[in-house]
Structure 1
């Protein structure tokens, strides 16, 4: 049961104003989501009950606000529904979302760090959004990297994981999830920064991972 709850949690789990893409649906405002605007144009949503506590923040300057607010809304609503479907406990179930924003000359990125405490221990996962400012379109792993990029990425990230795993009895594990490990990333002019959720590569005890790789090292697989 704990493993199922952990897996569920992982799944749920100076600003610059960019031109926003056109959308057929009205974009929900920070106030619509129950939040308030704080410094650096961050929307913060806080809510508490006797069973849960929510503390969610997201950037109001990310150009594709529709996708971002859709994700925030779904994550928040699904979390509240999930908490309502499981037994109460002697402390609240918690959900936290923290944004990490990046930019390059032609892209904008925001990586949401999703914290969930709904099981035996807290779990941190990530959800990334990347946007091409020239084409006004989302960027995904499939559109940013060539087919077969995983084969080039794995040895680079493996070296970093070996370094971080020093001191444990067993050797550092290898990537068993393929391209899924690399879905959450941010783009800068100099690097691609991969955010790897807790337990996706190293065991959960090692926590979530952040690996920055220079663009020059990825030149052969970047589109």
Structure 2
């Protein structure tokens, strides 16, 4: 169900917003019948027959268009999802909460991590969507551009993440818990001055009972392979 919902929420999110920068984010906030708070965060709540939606996102992220293009359709897509889902003993709910990270000062990198928590039958699920931006180069950072040219991102990222996971579980236990390990599973991350934090939705890397997962990999674990 979560894979289905993620597909619904991420389908068709490219929108034709007429304004850019902070004005675009504030316009998106206004379109959601919300206002920008003093901390430059937009908070919006809506409810209908059988559902509630609470979405928050920062309006001062440098690549605001990418962020608002993702956030804007969430409510409508979730309502569409609810309308075609079986009856639930309590209202369906979607909560989106942001966390921001930085590295290298104002001209360094900026990261926004959205944690999405969906409560539907039979139990709540959580996953992540992240946005990363290099302010000096004025370009988004993806898993492919996180490392120096020529580096295989999975050959670098997965062993580093696994080393951290082996601090929590024995290698043989971890092997039993691991799901499908592929590049698409490692797309959600954030950068700080000291680490790269990888985020995995519930059941996407480990088994469902482990819940959503954050793995902090110290920068030194990557040696000279980080590009940012």
For the residue of structure 1 that corresponds to 2:137, the secondary structure is coil
Alpha-carbon offset, residue 58 of structure 1: 0.5
Partner of 2:187: 183
Deviation by residue 1:16-42 (Cα, 9 ceiling, x = unmatched): xxxxxxx98322331222223334221
Q: Which runs of 5+ in 2 are unaligned?
A: 11-15
Alpha-carbon offset, residue 169 of structure 1: 7.3
For the residue of structure 2 that corresponds to 1:151, the secondary structure is helix
TM-aligned CA distance change 1:179 to 1:38, over 3 Å? same
Deviation by residue 1:87-140 (Cα, 9 ceiling, x = unmatched): 332311110100010111211110100111233111111000011111211111
TM-score (norm 1): 0.84
Structure with greater contact order relative to length (CA < 8 Å, sep ≥ 6):
1
What pairs with 1:20-31 in structure 2 (closer than 5 Å)? Answer: 25-26=18-19, 27=24, 28-31=27-30
Is the CA contact 2:5–2:81 (under 8 Å) kept in the aligned structure 1? no
Q: Does 1:118 find its partner at 2:120? A: yes
Q: Which runs of 4+ in 1 moved over 4 A?
A: 168-172
Alpha-carbon offset, residue 218 of structure 1: 1.1
Partner of 1:50: 49
Alignment length (residue pairs): 209
TM-score (norm 2): 0.82
Partner of 1:211: 215
Alpha-carbon offset, residue 180 of structure 1: 1.6
Deviation by residue 1:148-198 (Cα, 9 ceiling, x = unmatched): 2312322332233344347x9785533623212210111112211111111
Q: Which runs of 5+ in 1 are unaligned?
A: 14-22
TM-aligned CA distance change 1:100 to 1:172, over 3 Å? farther
Aligned-partner Cα distance in 2 for 1:154–1:190: 18
Alpha-carbon offset, residue 61 of structure 1: 1.2
Partner of 2:154: 150
What pairs with 1:1-223 in structure 2 (closer than 5 Å)? Answer: 5-11=1-7, 12=9, 25-26=18-19, 27=24, 28-105=27-104, 106-146=108-148, 147-165=151-169, 172-174=176-178, 176-223=180-227
TM-aligned CA distance change 1:175 to 1:220, over 3 Å? farther
**Cα RMSD, aligned residues only:** 2.4
For the residue of structure 1 that corresponds to 2:226, the secondary structure is coil
For the residue of structure 1 that corresponds to 2:29, the secondary structure is coil
Bigger Cα displacement from structure 2, 105-114 vs 116-125: 116-125
Aligned-partner Cα distance in 2 for 1:78–1:138: 25
